[in-house]
Amino acid sequence: MKNRVLLVSGGSRGIGAATARLAAEAGWSVCISYHRQEAQARAVVEEIESIGGRALALKADVGREADVLDLFEQLDQAFGTLSGLVNNAGILEPQMRVEGMQAARLARVFNVNVLGSFLCAREAVRRMSTRHGGQGGAIVNLSSMAARLGSPNEYVDYAAAKGAIDSFTIGLSKEVAAEGIRVNAVRPGLIHTDIHASGGEPGRIERLKGSVPMGRGGRAEEVARAILWLLSDEASYTTGSFIDVSGGR
């Protein structure tokens, strides 16, 4: 992966940060975007630079087209030709049944999780596709096991957004396969990250780990390793595919 450039959206913490660190160790130049977690994003950059890697943190709300355009322009200027994108940025709202959900909540969830992934992928394709003079590349979308399980009584909106990401992955992979771009997705299960606290239940994994055949929650690094494989040349004949990192759930 030496001298290749990777963008990880939402890379300030959790799976995004773990992916950025592992990518840097593998030789990627890494740009991470963040929305509010500037201190955490800067810490990830400093950690990468401390091991001799190249990293950059840029602020962007991926649900806003203007922010996405600015993000990619800054990345172009700083690192040059893009080789990979990890669509990791995502949000949860507090646990709630569908009957209590307001339109504003739904708009927030779909704006970041779905629209943000579309906008970032669009800009990546414009740069990586051989149809546009690019050299090819790879996109990895972050889906979720929620897309298959539905998250009843908790996050049906989030699950539906991730279901859209699954469809998006399949469609885009076929659209750009002949243009040198591979598009795949990873579906994490119950992973130890801050996202559970965002939903109002920091101990959610402890409550649900009995439903996991392996009997435990996963680590962000375990998801990141799957992402790195999909980005790598070892996955050169893999596109439109999904890796479930869920302990068998």
Residue pair 93/155 in contact (Cβ under 8 Å)? The answer is yes
The domain that holds 116 is classified in CATH as 3.40.50.720
pLDDT tens digits, residue range 29-74? 999 999 999 999 999 999 999 999 999 999 999 999 999 999 999 9
Q: How far apart are alpha carbons 184 and 170 in whole angstroms? A: 8
pLDDT at 1 over 60: no
Q: How far apart are alpha carbons 167 and 143 in whole angstroms? A: 10
Sign of CA dihedral 45, 48, 50, 54: negative
DSSP label at residue 81 = S
pLDDT tens digits, residue range 195-232? 776 667 788 888 889 999 999 999 999 999 999 999 99
Return the ∠ at Cα 185 (arms to 25 and 121), rounded to 5°: 85
pLDDT tens digits, residue range 140-189? 999 999 999 999 999 999 999 999 999 999 999 999 999 999 999 999 99
Residue pair 197/131 in contact (Cβ under 8 Å)? The answer is no
* Full domain range(s) for residue 238: 5-245
Its pTM surpasses 0.85 = yes
pLDDT tens digits, residue range 116-133? 999 999 999 999 999 999
Tell me whether residue 34 is one of the annotated catalytic residues: no
Give the chain's domain count: 1
* Choice among 34, 155, 158, 237 that is catalytic: 158
